[in-house]
């Protein structure tokens, strides 16, 4: 039976993206996206808010594209898949879950170029992995 591993986030980048290159020259970029949610507490009637932080990784030409114009605070929509990896540190096994991105749309006005969008949001730059030839690679750490 087929399974689905899809994730879509719309939020803000919490720190400047970290663009690096693997020893064989593949670009990889890491950043965190903050998403928030709001609700009314039933017992107190108070408006509540919580923020979640998500680690995001992109590879290849898409990573380089993000590195050119995305900065801390940029509004971004990320599409990808969830991946959990583990490593050992000081004899303790650690785990992290990341979104391995394959498409993104930025809503940051300082991005270069324009592409019209449909709906209520206007974008200054829309790029997807399908627009660029990129490959997924194992994370090198």
With pLDDT > 90 as the criterion, what percentage of the chain qualifies?
A: 73
Identify the band that residue 113 occupies on the pLDDT scale cut at 50, 70 and 90: very low
pTM of the model: 0.72
73: tokens are 């605070």
For the chain, what are the domain ranges?
Answer: 7-37+49-131
CATH 3.40.190.10 fits 7-37+49-131, yes or no: no
Per the DSSP assignment, residues forming a β-bridge with 31 are 56
Measure the CA–CA gap between 129 and 81, rounded to whole angstroms.
Answer: 13
Rg (Cα) of the chain, in Å, rounded?
17
């Amino acid at each position: 039976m087929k399974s689905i591993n899809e994730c879509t986030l719309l939020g803000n980048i919490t720190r400047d993206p970290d663009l690096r290159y693997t020893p064989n020259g593949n670009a990889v970029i890491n950043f965190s996206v903050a998403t928030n949610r709001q609700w009314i507490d039933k017992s107190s009637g108070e408006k509540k808010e919580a923020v979640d932080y998500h680690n995001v990784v992109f590879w290849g030409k898409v990573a380089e594209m993000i590195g050119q114009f995305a900065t801390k605070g940029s509004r971004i929509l990320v599409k990808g898949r969830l991946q959990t990896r583990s490593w050992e540190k000081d004899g303790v096994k650690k785990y992290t879950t990341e979104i391995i991105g394959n498409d993104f749309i930025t809503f940051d006005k300082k991005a270069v170029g324009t592409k019209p969008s449909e709906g209520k949001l206007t974008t200054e730059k829309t790029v997807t992995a399908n627009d660029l030839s990129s490959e997924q690679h194992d994370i090198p750490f």
